[in-house]
A and B are shown apart, each in its own frame.
Chain A
Amino acid sequence: MRFKDVFSIIGPSMIGPSSSHTAGAARIGLAARRLLGVMPDAARVSFYGSFAATYQGHGTDTAIAGGLLGFRTDDPRLPDAIELAEEAGMELIFREGKGLFPHPNTVRLELQGAGGQRLSLLGTSIGGGNVEIVEVNGFSVKFGCACPALLVRHSDQPGVIAALTAALQQAGLNIAGLSLSRMERQGEALAVVELDGEAQQGLLRQIRGLPNVLGTDYVNLNGEEEESPFELSDAEGAK
């Protein structure tokens, strides 16, 4: 089921004009910011398909900028997000990409953080403000942002997933979805775990300490962190 619940149909509460081209784009931007962990210094945004054809009219560029600033879909500052991003020191490049993707509303975000953090993400906006992330740093993935998602980078070795799911079980967290992708056999791999509840910092630390785990990223678009205004970016960068 692409659409999981009633609020993927009624909602989100949002600033117009388009749920797929504005609200969905803002959510992709926000998901990317969460994955990067900080407000990006530089963002290169490539639009494809219907996004490429109509992004200016729909304010898709503005919405992506708003997401990167940490805005929710109904943040009244959203219409001015590009100016606000530039004021905050973000370098933004928007371009129309060439290439065919299965979904008409596709965008690639290439982000760079002040601390050298980098992220390449491909996201699609599937309607009504709902999104799917389909690629992260070269790994094929598929997760919506309806529930919290935990991304675990690891070496492709036996037992990593068993240890990971055991840790989640201990924390009492149910797994809503699980997908795996690897660059090559025994090479770098990525597990994406969609969760029915929130993962706490302690659990994430514990998972990072597991054998063969290289790192974790965590995205929760519905959590309180979504409230964090872009003014917090300095504090985040200092971490």
Chain B
Amino acid sequence: MNFRTLKELSERSRESGLTIGRLMIQQQAKESGRDEAAEFASMKEYYGIMKEAVHNGLTRDTTSRSGLTGLDAQRVAAYNKSSQPSLGGDAGRAMAYALAVSEVNASMGRIVATPTAGSCGIIPGVFVSSQERFGWDDNRMTEGLFAAGAIGYVIANNSFVSGAEGGCQAEVGSAIGMAAGALTELRGGTPEQAVHAVGLALKNTLGLICDPVGGLVEIPCIVRNGFGAVTALAAADMALAGVRSVIPSDEVVQVMLEVGAAMPEKHRETAGGGLAQTPTGKKLMEGLRKKKR
């Protein structure tokens, strides 16, 4: 890859006259030694799996193995249709789709990690709902996934993307940043605006701990994916409107690293603190242990 930071990413994009997505396709082909068409086809297949996961989450029984979660996406989708959602229909759909994919994941269905399984709902939620709204074709969405991947590549190599290392900010936070930057570009924003969207989004999730009840990717992971999709839309809108991340996005990524490294182990995917250790969290965990025996 010819970039290591978000600043370099937007500079390489500007110099080459390519979108971030197209630049990443070119760089990916160089890294893998395969041709660009093959790389594109692999990513397009992933987009197909994402759309399938949205569909499955809205139509199938997504009750998780623990029985603690499931069918919330369908509740939100039904509410969106029958009532006047406070968010409005488009953001409401992004939220429902993100919940859908996350619930498919929790019920051991097939998803694409973006960047992780715990945060797998956010990018499909934003992408599939925006595709429906703006009428973009799958090729355009695939290019957008490369843009999201380029942003994630920088975050992952300068900070982290696993909850066990850096808390939920590293998973859900990174996914929101990736979705926000990619959507900004898909909607015609410049590479600089896309990078501002990343910084704006990441600032909103700094410090978020990873505290899943019973260690399961269910509570609070699923709802955080729903919220995450909405936040990504908001960050893209701010960036497209000209709002800048005054603290440069690369510096925000460094803060994520600093905060994650300082995070106690009990708040990094061990179920040793946070929501997992609330009276109710502990009771649910105890119930699961008994069920297992």
Contact = CB atoms under 8 A, between A and B. Distances in A.
Interface in B108-131: 108-118, 120, 123
Contacts of A142: none
A50 interface: yes
Contacts of A7: 28, 42-43, 149
B192 interface: no
A126 interface: yes
A8 B117 CA distance: 13
Contacts of B46: 10-11, 13
Interface stretch (B86-94, B213-221, B232-240): B213-221
Contacts of B39: 6
A57 B32 CA distance: 35
Contact of A2 (B111, B156, B170): B156
A196 interface: yes
Nearest to B119: A19
A20 B112 contact: no
A5 interface: yes
Contact of B270 (A11, A54, A79): A54
Interface string A13-49: 1111111111100000000000000000000000001
B110 A74 contact: yes
Contacts, number: 178
A97 interface: no
Contact of B116 (A13, A19, A74): A19
B162 A53 contact: no
A7 B114 CA distance: 10
A19 B156 contact: no
A105 interface: yes
A59 interface: yes
Contact of B268 (A11, A104, A128, A196): A104
Given A16-B105, A128-B113, A10 B215 contact: no
Most A C-beta atoms less than 10 A away, residue of B32, B111, B113? B113
A215 interface: no
Contact of B117 (A2, A22, A57): A22
Given A6-B28, A10-B123, 10 more contacts: A9-B148, A11-B114, A14-B110, A17-B217, A57-B288, A104-B268, A125-B162, A127-B116, A129-B116, A129-B117
